Structure 1
């Protein structure tokens, strides 16, 4: 600490300067404290937003997994249905062929019956 061997007026000026400097420092400290409080509040808001975002991300990931599983299941079902459709189409063609053969046989039998009736009739 500087000891001043000065006149009382000089001492008062030094004291006034020191008081003003102390008041300025208090104001600056208060301003820094307010800024600090605002930053702490902002950090807390950001933390809450981050937590909400993280929860949303986890929900979205779960939904994506569920959707992917559903797509896989639907793809398997679609493949199975396509295979069944192809088999049924093949079976239908075969049955249609058999029906056509039976119809032709019936026509042939009818023609033979008509011919036989005609041959038997006087």
Structure 2
């Protein structure tokens, strides 16, 4: 029985990545964000501003940070702004857990894609 490698296998064998799962395609090197490198722009902002705001439990600070995020939706991430705005509204009302849940929702939806494709972009 002969088993062909198909288009994706042929592309891989030829050094291409067409239709090759991202898990085995070559990972982009952005020069930031990996161990031993400086943080990427959003990564640094999230660690200093957003993490500080959420750790404080201060609804106004969390809302301000989420409104900033809502104003900067990356291309191809259509629900980014709406999720951030929803979290900001929850934070303003004192629903800190609800605001944090919006962060998790956005991370679950977009974090991998952002890290894989956009992590070096200015934020």
| Band the TM-score falls in, shorter-chain normalisation | under 0.3
Larger Rg: 1
Which is bigger in relative contact order (C-alpha 8 A, separation at least 6)?
Answer: 2
Q: Which has the higher helix share?
A: 1
